[in-house]
Chain A
């Protein structure tokens, strides 16, 4: 049951949604058998990554209403823990990532105990400060983190599973891992939403004091939400580190990472399960194309001497942040409910509302 500010929930649609989801996953799973171009698979991996990040943030930001703009703290911890365990201790990432998630959860409890006393904008500022503190510390304590030099991945050992050997040299393996993680994160989100946790998180978002008086232990539940969010964000970080093979404090802990995570949800539709997916579908292709327009040539969408490619390369290289900025402004001003809200409005208008007039009254 996804609460919508525009229309009340329709319980019967969840079976249809489940089937649609299963169909989508199956399609995505067989996709690499048909399309083998590395650029497309690369895009897929980045898409899954964004979905994981967005779903994870949604738990604390969208449902519980605590807008953390410091989630890079968890992302980076996940990246560094997984990377360091592999490079320094030779622990393969499928074990390392558990340690990464655990450290992120511990970190989240510390952060939560500090920041959850604060409300609204003060909480946002505190979350940013924590991430910055960690980034600066990572830059400074070179003995531990190699500072600005960063960590370069040497190689990922092959994984022996069910008698086969899975290697991690090609993008294909990452694609499947990414898909798996994305599915798990979405499933976890769905489970949270349809549990007591989900109701309590939303109550906290809507009115903390009312929630408190209804028997909800605010700091406990906020911490649970943050812990869940942190764990999945760290998983994304670990996966990211293995995929891009190089991390440094700015890549892992930078403010723009935090901002992008929030963007995925804002652009897509905050507080919903499909929102981050939509957001990822908008942001990732934009960002990848701007970063690497040649990829479009590889895929055959454009020819090698296309004016579009040249234009992007000459004028817009690395302009993805600019586009993000424009997107944020446009979304906040004209579509605060994100792409999902726009879709709903279009569908609603074309369907001619059939509910009673006072049900369609806009909420406070």
Chain B
């Protein structure tokens, strides 16, 4: 059974269709990239999947469970978490406390949560800053913090929303290595990105959205050479 199934999902805001009849599925262990021009409805789909708001039409199935209408906290406990396009650190709390909040989704013991938090901070290489206030971190570290925080919830499926946005090449490379490392550890991931090179490198499959609709789906090579994809990006050739 596929881990995630998006079946004919549409989302309307008033008269505007932010997502129109989008369907695809994901197997466990894979990395799926989702790309599309701005306004293509990528974040909207994330919001629908994770329970921020329900889809207007269609079904979202996660490990065979119907997610429509569930609240974000319920979705998290089922094993799916997301990061935010615009980072959301818990500013007045320390880095360690931020990650502990994530860890507390799986345990009620502060001691265990602390251990899990240290582990995750180690994975993202932020452990030297564990007693710093989250609000004082530079953007690259805020993004890493957010990843550590969601990892602490022990997810099976991780949705990353433009996690490389605003990062310099060195920081982006760190994130790419992190994503590949997480894949090696068995985590399934869906990544929204604008950075085409990065997506090509990390994705097993790519879904292309345009104006809320699914344009095409395939492995990186297929997608890169798809004429509609090239057209949607205004003729930008992709390596």
Interface residues of A (CB under 8 A from B): 1, 3, 5, 8-9, 194-196, 199-200, 202-203, 205-207, 209-218, 358-364
Contact = CB atoms under 8 A, between A and B. Distances in A.
A205 B93 CA distance: 10
B153 interface: yes
Given A199-B104, A213-B72, A216-B105, 18 more contacts: A3-B97, A199-B110, A200-B101, A202-B90, A203-B90, A206-B91, A206-B92, A209-B88, A213-B82, A215-B102, A215-B104, A215-B105, A217-B73, A218-B73, A358-B136, A359-B129, A359-B133, A364-B135
Interface centre among B50, B75, B88, B100 (most CB of A within 10 A): B88
Interface in B190-222: none
A210 B105 contact: no
Interface centre among B71, B90, B102, B129 (most CB of A within 10 A): B90
A340 to B, nearest CB: 14
Interface residues of B, number: 39
Interface in B111-141: 113, 129, 131-138
A5 B91 CA distance: 9
Given A214-B101, A215-B105, A217-B73, A5 B133 contact: yes
14 contacts: A1-B97, A3-B93, A8-B133, A195-B110, A199-B97, A199-B100, A199-B113, A200-B101, A200-B104, A205-B92, A214-B81, A216-B73, A216-B101, A358-B137
Nearest to B104: A196
A196 B106 CA distance: 11
B77 interface: yes
Nearest to B93: A3
A203 B76 CA distance: 15
B60 interface: no
B136 A203 contact: no
A261 B82 CA distance: 39
Interface centre among A3, A211, A360 (most CB of B within 10 A): A3
B34 interface: no
Contacts of A358: 132, 136-138
Contacts of B97: 1, 3, 199, 202
Contact of B102 (A205, A207, A214, A364): A214
A196 to B, nearest CB: 5
Interface string B144-173: 000001100100000000000000000000
A172 to B, nearest CB: 40
A211 B153 CA distance: 12
A360 B77 CA distance: 35
A66 to B, nearest CB: 15
A215 B93 CA distance: 18
B135 A215 contact: no
